[in-house]
Amino acid sequence: MKKYMEKSKLPLFPYQQKDVDLLYQIGSGLLGNEPGTGKTLTTIALAEKIEARKILVFCPSVLKYQWAKEIAKFTPHRKAIVIEGAKSERDGLWVKDCDYFIANYELLLRDFDTIQASRPWWDLLLSDEATKISNPKAKCTRLIMQLKANRRVAMTGTPISNTPQNLWSVMTFCRPGYLGNYWRFISRYCIKNEWNAIVAYQNLEELRVKISRYMIRRTKQEVLPELPDKIETDVTFVLSKEEQALQKKIKKELLAEIEKNDIDKVEKPQNIQFTLTKMIRLRQLADSMELLGSNEKSSKMEVLAELLEENQEHKIIIFSEFSEMCKIIKRKYPQSVMIIGETKDEERQKVLKEFNENPEKKLCILSSAGQFGLNIQVSDTIINYDLPFSLAKFEQRIGRAHRIGQKNTVMVYNLLGVGTLDFAVKKILYKKADLSSQLLGKEPISIKEVKDLLTYEPE
């Protein structure tokens, strides 16, 4: 097993190394650092330090492939399997010989017996976004408690926002029995009314001291001197089968049209531009099926919801190329503010003032057309719901918050569906110095590159 430690040269910040050492010492605990401080890498480093051979990760379904990507990036000598597919397929995956098994919480309900039969004991059991197991009465929570492991680590960027009764569940996952049974815990730290409903809390300082023995909590402000001034993260996810089927159909139609026009031989700029324009449908599909019809299904919106929950303490800017997508997000989150191309100048300043000064306004939704001239240093978190075709526009987006006057590290999240056009743009065309010059005709995009976009398959 020493080969793992020899091969592992993880790029940890000093505070991350301390967290790894602390988790190593306490055995099991709660990693409650703020979003954007690298909790995933910290736990991967812990797995290397303890020389874990079998690691089980439970996370929201939209984060499964993000986990696989991080494992492959930082520990390429490790093998990770994402558990998915029909029951018969999953049964085969659970018995594979690999290091990491990555599953969504719902599979606890469907595959619990299979998990138990395939591996009755784990070296390391990880609960990512541990608020998913914060309800002690939920079946999912009860089942994950039954899994046997040498070490357990719960991960959540918002442990302090949890109520004491919910924190009991997460801490009990980490340290079974440490906080006693649930009803004794409630009587010690909660106050109930005559209808048996919890109305207040007591002895919280005692609880804080007790929990602090097994909880690590760092804010971004605390570790700011160690962090770069900007951290960019690609959040990858998989489209639903329905979305994948429609995407495949649109790609097939576009490729057939290219072959029909035979523009391999005569690369007319107007033909290529026409194809690029039609490819907008693929980008809209990756955002939400609602942009193409009445179906409101959107895997990307589910990913957005997870990110917003994780970063709920921060002021967040959400960018989209499409004004209609901005409106869909605004409808979903009515307390947000929005500036798009059609927003009048006087209204823009009013909206911006409200976002900057009102602590209740956590979300600012911007289209590419609506972002110009805006300085929003109050925000330190940017979510690119989709990506522009231009690197210059991409940098302009980040520049709304990442500028003089910004006192925090700026977190940038790019939402990339595996196999979607956004994924292809990020992985292929962003290697060029400036794609915008191509689209403006200074360095024409070739039909080969168009085909690359339509046929790109992630590694």
Label each residue of 241-252 as H, E or C. Answer: HHHHHHHHHHHH
When the pLDDT of each residue in the chain is averaged and rounded to a whole number, the result is 84
> Which pLDDT value is given to residue 370?
61
pLDDT band for position 5 (cuts 50, 70, 90): very low
Q: Which residues of 232-261 are buried (b: 16+ CB within 10 A; e: fewer)?
A: ebbbbbbbeeebbebbeebbeebeeebeee
In angstroms and rounded to an integer, the radius of gyration of the C-alpha atoms of the chain is: 24
> Which pLDDT value is given to residue 430?
60
Q: Element (H or E) spanning 320, and its range?
A: strand 316-320
Q: How far apart are CA 422 and CA 223, in angstroms?
A: 32
Q: How far apart are CA 352 and CA 359, in angstroms?
A: 13
Give the range with max mean pLDDT: 82-86, 217-221, 348-352: 82-86
What pLDDT, in 10s, does the model give residues 56-67? 999 988 788 889
End-to-end CA distance of the chain: 27
Q: Mean pLDDT throughout 294-315?
A: 90
Q: How far apart are CA 103 and CA 265, in angstroms?
A: 48
Number of H helices and E strands in the chain, helices first, is 21, 15
What pLDDT, in 10s, does the model give residues 20-49? 999 999 999 999 987 778 899 999 999 999
Q: CA 199 → CA 29, 100, 185, 327, distances in Å?
A: 28, 42, 15, 38
Where is average pLDDT lowest: 39-48, 239-248, 325-334, 367-376? Answer: 367-376
Kindly give the interhelix angle for 241-261 and 447-455, rounded to the nearest 10 degrees.
160
Q: Which residues of 150-177 are buried (b: 16+ CB within 10 A; e: fewer)?
A: ebbbbbbbbbeebebbbbbbbbbbbbee
- Read off the pTM: 0.69
On whether the CB atoms of residues 426 and 394 are closer than 8 A, the answer is: no
Q: Both tokens of residue 263? A: 């523009």
Domains in the chain, please, with CATH? Answer: 2-225 (3.40.50.10810), 231-455 (3.40.50.300)
Residue written as token pair 């989209």: 320
Q: How far apart are CA 124 and CA 336, in angstroms?
A: 39
Q: Is the pLDDT of residue 2 over 70?
A: no
Q: How far apart are CA 55 and CA 149, in angstroms?
A: 9
